[in-house]
Chains A and B, each alone.
Chain A
Amino acid sequence: MKVGILQFPGSNCDFDTLHAFADVLGVPASLVWHKETCLDGFSAIVLPGGFSYGDYLRCGAIARFSPVMRALVDFANSGKPVLGICNGFQILCEAGLLPGALVRNAGLEFICKTVNLTVENAGPAFNPQTLGTTSIRLPIAHGEGNYRIDAAGLEQLKANKQILLRYQGSNPNGAIEAIAGIRNVAGNVFGMMPHPERAIESFMPSLDGIPLLKNFLAKSSVAA
């Protein structure tokens, strides 16, 4: 059983994500081309960052029609863990596996920097206790990370403890209530704008990506 990392045309954090799982966490992992139609044999799926289909139309809007997406919906509905990072988060929103949408940053400019995030209590699988901290530091790199959702949807997120992470201090992209990451109601589909795979080695801005990725895997049968 292993981790599958979906590779869309224009994905560009695919190899970084593979490195994080395979080399740093030491779990079996492999890339999955977007034309695959079957995800049998994988116990967790990650949608990496990048510019799938050049972000044409809207971020993630074309990728959701890739052949692999039908299999992914079944995979998610079966309760297995799915993580979307940055562009992966955008694709999951476009595919309806996560609520809300990500629009252009409030400052209209692409922003790449390391930010502090508050770990929210998002239920038994994701909270300060399971992550071992209330605050983490992760890099962000996006032009469209401004999370939007209607008032009713926001109330739902809060009521179901679906908010995973919030930006601390100044909100880098104007996201509603500084939301940086969310999960679905069932608690097996995660999406976040920050890049945990860029915070896993000693020379990187932090090592906070490691507990986060391990925590994600804890939901699956892959042992990290």
Chain B
Amino acid sequence: MSTEVPPPNSEPMLNAAITPELIQKHGITKDEYARIQTILGRDPNLTELGIFSVMWSEHCSYKNSKPLLKLFPNDKKDTSRGYGKVLVKAGEENAGVIDIGDDWAICFKIESHNHPSAIEPFEGAATGVGGIIRDIFTMGARPVALTNSLRFGDLDSKQTKRLFRGVVHGIAHYGNCMGIPNVAGDVYFDSCFEGNPLVNAQCMGLLRHDQIKRGAAKGIGNPVYYVGAATGRDGLGGAAFASRELTEESMEDRPAVQKGDPFMEKLLLEACLEMMAIDGLVVGIQDMGAAGLTCSTCETASRGNTGIEIELDKVPQREKGMNSYETMLSESQERMLVIVQKGREAEIKAVFEKWDLHAAEIGFVTDTGRMVVKQHGKMVVNIPAKKLADEAPIYHRTATAPAYIAEAHKWSPDSLPVPNETFLASALPKLLAEPSIAEKRWVWEQYDHMVMAGTALEPGSDAAVIRLRLDNGKEKLIALANDCNHRYCYLNPYRGGQIALAECMRNLACSGATSLGMTDNLNFGNPNKPEAFYMLKEVVTGMADACKFFDIPVVGGNVSLYNESQQGAIDPTPTVTVAGLVEKREHITKQFLPSANATLILLGGWCHELGGSYYQRIMHKLKTGDAPELDLDKEQKLHSALLQTIKSGKVLAAHDLSEGGLLVAVAEMLFAPDTTFGAELDLTDAPESIRPDVLLYGESQSRAIVATAPENAAVIIATAKSLGIKAHIIGNSLTATDLIVKYSEGSLAWKTTELREVFTQRIPQAMEM
């Protein structure tokens, strides 16, 4: 039985001879085809070929990135705090799980929907959100927070506006209906993303340790259920589509973009959580995401070291006459596969009936180790499940450093004329109006960021903080932030990857949180091109080294390659989400000043570089130099200084220095939700050897500004210095809306109300209909 060859398919088209053209059309190489023949001991039929093509696409198999992903630490060394232990590791299941103490845990993961969003921004982004939510609740967790990282071309291009609006509407449509708060994110605009936007959605869930569910098909004879929406022809081969470059013909791939129904997913979520709460009923569960029925059946069998047999006639279908190829490769949304304890079928049916949903028994767990698919009672697919799921080819690609990098590193700010006061004064409003820096309220006010009544620090600050209610009246406070500066990665991929993590952790530290773990979305170009693969390899190596240094486990993530449009490859963009724990409500710290007459202290020293900065981009139209230096040890000490001073109760506000440097950070602190403050800064302490443009706008890392009452400044400075972090008082906040800056060679002044106007109006004005 186990090696039985499927007889001819009832659909004559599917009995076509497997020609080299057909193999190539499925994105399968000659060697890969030979491997398939070896695995099967025969030629595959067309349905089987389709199955291999999606399972062995980059999206499902990570065949080009697996050797690199192994560099990431998936466990935490120091768990002495009573939280932070990794309970489920990356790769073991749909998402990793981290202990947050008191027998509770969080599980989180980020995933891309770049290609679908480029073609159909609304549905592409919406289903991206829907997909990542299913990855989380399939673990047994209730989804409690969403974040996202978005990248678009120039804001003023017509295409960008269409994509930007569509993506934001799509995310809002899905997340708002699900009732999961969308609390944080980042949005950058750069011409390198023209035609190839990035839409990375992250979801975090909350669960008790004993609620963790596995995606394994265990127990021979246990029934396999299909629950949720019916299967249609949408999203056919979406995983394979996502593993190609975008071309003009990509618009013809529209059927590969799925259509989402958040209401169906909300019902599915509630029904699944209710079903999983019944002791011993659910043996295994897995969502049908990329590669749908194919992926969920072979992966659950592989994890369970079992086989699985399903009958397609029993699969709920919303279109008539779907053949086995279409049914197996459909990426229709809002579907789950559930393996139920035999004899308890009535219990699952009762739960799904309550929610007016279907639970269809489509097959059973076997001991053959094979994935057997039948249709009209006849076998159509017979593949060894483990080999299909886990033995995709792995490629060690060639990496070659692009020549521009060495060239860029020769650049020095001294090649620019020393700017006068007028030039320097004109830079700040321009930086604040740069869409990547400007306020993103237009985006996050479209997301319900308050539902679940736990948003303790709303979007717009360094990180979001949500309050999670546990049982017995206890609560946990979790901070989340997303980050990645692609300009740094373009100039120095190793360091750029490290900075993405360091900055994200810095955002958390400024908000009062200790970082727990990271999930990342690696958005890169075509890995078959040695220069693109070099960027991937360097970024991952840099990030992995930083993760090990900071003891931050990677709990999962996603790889999106082939991000190339006709304009070329995108900048390497490894977006990062870090989750952290805030120990007490009093530690939650905002980036905005609560009052005037606060002393502003710069932690981490003066700036000494200008490479890759937004000042360089906006004032000189350059993208060159080296990425800012990063000393991991100093970065860690800065986080300690921030957390220690915040916990002492003496910090009124804290904000990290990033895009735009010192003055942009100060301005953002002055833009409090209900008031606009002013400030008087005296930077004449800085060495005269530092050029004023570098001093004011350079983006040296491992720095933050904290605000404190004047009488507490000395204690904060002493604490920072005792930890090896430089601290300088740079000025104080004012009630008057003036920003006055004195530096060695001159002084500058702005009205903060006017600065705020350009900061807040840039995006809404561009997006006015």
Contacts and interface: CB of A to CB of B under 8 A. Distances in A.
A149 interface: no
A20 interface: yes
A16 B447 CA distance: 17
A16 B266 CA distance: 16
B648 interface: no
Contacts of B173: 110
B179 A13 contact: yes
Nearest to B452: A16
B176 A141 contact: yes
B313 interface: no
A202 B475 CA distance: 14
A136 to B, nearest CB: 15
Interface in A27-78: 33, 35, 49-51, 53-56
A201 B467 CA distance: 11
A198 B473 contact: no
Contacts of A33: 354
A195 B450 contact: yes
Interface string B447-472: 11111110110000000000101000
B266 A12 contact: yes
B450 A139 contact: yes
Contacts of A1: none
Interface in B170-204: 172-173, 176-179
A10 interface: yes
Interface in A130-145: 139, 141, 143
B513 to A, nearest CB: 14
A222 B484 CA distance: 52
Interface string A10-30: 101101100110010000000
Nearest to B176: A110
Nearest to B168: A109
Contact of B266 (A51, A113, A139, A197): A51
Given A19-B453, A53-B263, A197-B453, A109 B177 contact: no
A112 B448 contact: yes
Contacts of A113: 445
Among A16, A112, A197, max chain B CB count under 10 A is at: A112
Given A51-B177, A198-B453, A204-B453, A110 B266 contact: no
For the residues of B in contact with A, the DSSP-based class is mixed
Given A54-B261, A139-B450, A141-B450, A9 B355 contact: yes
A179 B228 CA distance: 39
A36 to B, nearest CB: 12
Contact of A9 (B169, B267, B450): B267
User: Residue among B177, B356, B585 with the most chain A CB within 10 A?
Assistant: B177
A15 B588 CA distance: 24
B692 interface: no
Nearest to B477: A203
Interface in A109-123: 109-113
A10 B176 contact: no
Nearest to B180: A12
Contacts of B585: 202-203
B262 interface: yes
Contacts of A109: 169, 172, 446
Contacts of A197: 453
Contacts of B177: 10, 12, 51, 54-55
A197 B451 CA distance: 10
Given A12-B178, A12-B179, A16-B453, A110 B172 contact: yes
Contact of B356 (A9, A12, A55, A143): A9
A141 B182 CA distance: 12
A49 B356 CA distance: 21
Contacts of A108: 769
Interface of B: 169, 172-173, 176-179, 261-264, 266-267, 354-356, 444-453, 455-456, 467, 469, 473, 585, 588, 769
23 contacts: A9-B263, A9-B355, A10-B177, A12-B451, A19-B469, A23-B473, A35-B354, A49-B451, A50-B179, A51-B179, A51-B262, A54-B264, A55-B263, A56-B263, A110-B173, A112-B445, A112-B446, A112-B448, A141-B448, A141-B450, A141-B451, A195-B450, A197-B453
Given A54-B266, A110-B447, A139-B450, 14 more contacts: A12-B178, A13-B179, A16-B451, A16-B452, A20-B453, A33-B354, A35-B354, A51-B176, A51-B263, A111-B446, A112-B176, A195-B450, A201-B453, A203-B456
A-B residue pairs, 4 tightest by C-beta: A12-B179, A54-B263, A16-B453, A203-B456
